[in-house]
Amino acid sequence: MRISPTTKGTLCLFLTAVIWGLAFVAQRVGADYLGPFTFNGARFALGGLSLIPLIFIFERKSVYNGAQKRRAYTLGLGGGFILFAASSLQQFGVQITGSAGKSGFITGLYTVLVPIIGVFLGKKTSLLTWLGAVLAVAGLYFLSVLGGNSGTGAAAGFGPGDVLLIIGAVFWAFHILFVDFSTAGGIAPLRFSATQFLVCSALSMASALVFEDVRLPGVLNAYVPLLYGGLASVGVAYTLQIFGQRYVEPARAAIIFSLETLFAAVGGALLLGERMRPPGYLGCALIFAGIIASQVSGMGRRGKAGERNGIV
């Protein structure tokens, strides 16, 4: 039986969502051994370096001209600063809340925020997007205020970690819009991604040297989540994403990517024993419904420009 290209592409994107979702588990475990800046510095260094072989494979000289490559490096620098802010806030939020599942769903709010922020940039937003925003806000209330976690030592109720994750989701949304702006003029995408990952790593490591006590034993103890967060969620997932989006239309791809929030919750429950009170599960369901509504609203370019670039 022959599998169609569309089916293969869908499977690739589904695996990408699984890898990105489980990356929240890696971040949660890594927080036990390393400070947020140290963890991000190491994982994004691995992620950026893992893309270098892909540059030689997918971005041959005949594909992109010199101007597109130079534009990729220049814009990648700006993307790296935004990525540094988003990933730092996220990792601090994961560490404080102590929950992979909760962090995944709150971070997933970026998919709702992108079209809303787009309104202030002159882009049209449909009624479904606003409905998605209302559902997401309601879900956030049930998840963070009423839900809480039990049995894992995670922080219950709405607290500083939730605030950081929400602000981080805003920066993820700005990052997507920046990628949208960057790709509009034509760039070499892998060079852009590798540049922003390495810039984010450099900023994270510089911050770690100033604010954290960086010790080799901590890095060695966290080697599994670091390898997963750096190589799997960036190198492997990004390769799958490149192949998958060749054969799957943007709107469908965006919905598949939204499944990462579910896999973050499943991974947290199965691997870390995370549990929520009933209102928390209702909150997750409402947030997911809001995410789907915002995707179905048909932000056509979102599926292309909204690529996570292997970031969680």
Burial (Cβ within 10 Å: 0-12, 13-18, ≥19) of residue 69: middle
Q: How confident is the model over 118-124, as a mean pLDDT?
A: 77
78-106 pLDDT tens trace: 999 999 999 999 999 999 988 888 898 89
12-62 pLDDT tens trace: 989 998 999 999 999 999 999 999 999 999 999 999 999 998 888 877 766
196-240 pLDDT tens trace: 999 999 999 999 999 999 888 888 999 999 999 999 988 888 778
Burial (Cβ within 10 Å: 0-12, 13-18, ≥19) of residue 184: exposed
Angle of helix 36-58 versus helix 237-244 axis, rounded to 10? 40
* CB distance 19 to 232 below 8 Å: yes
228-275 pLDDT tens trace: 999 998 888 877 887 787 787 766 777 787 788 888 888 988 898 888
280-292 pLDDT tens trace: 888 888 888 888 8
Determine the residue type at 273.
G
> And the tokens for 180?
């949208």
Q: How confident is the model over 145-149, as a mean pLDDT?
A: 65
Q: Which of 113, 102, 92 is CA-nearest to residue 30?
A: 92
Q: Which of 212, 236, 238 is CA-nearest to residue 91?
A: 212
Largest interatomic CA distance in the chain: 58
Determine the residue type at 205.
M
Q: Best-predicted range by mean pLDDT among 40-44, 183-187, 296-300?
A: 40-44
pLDDT above 90 for 112: no
Beta-carbon count within 10 A of 156 CB = 18
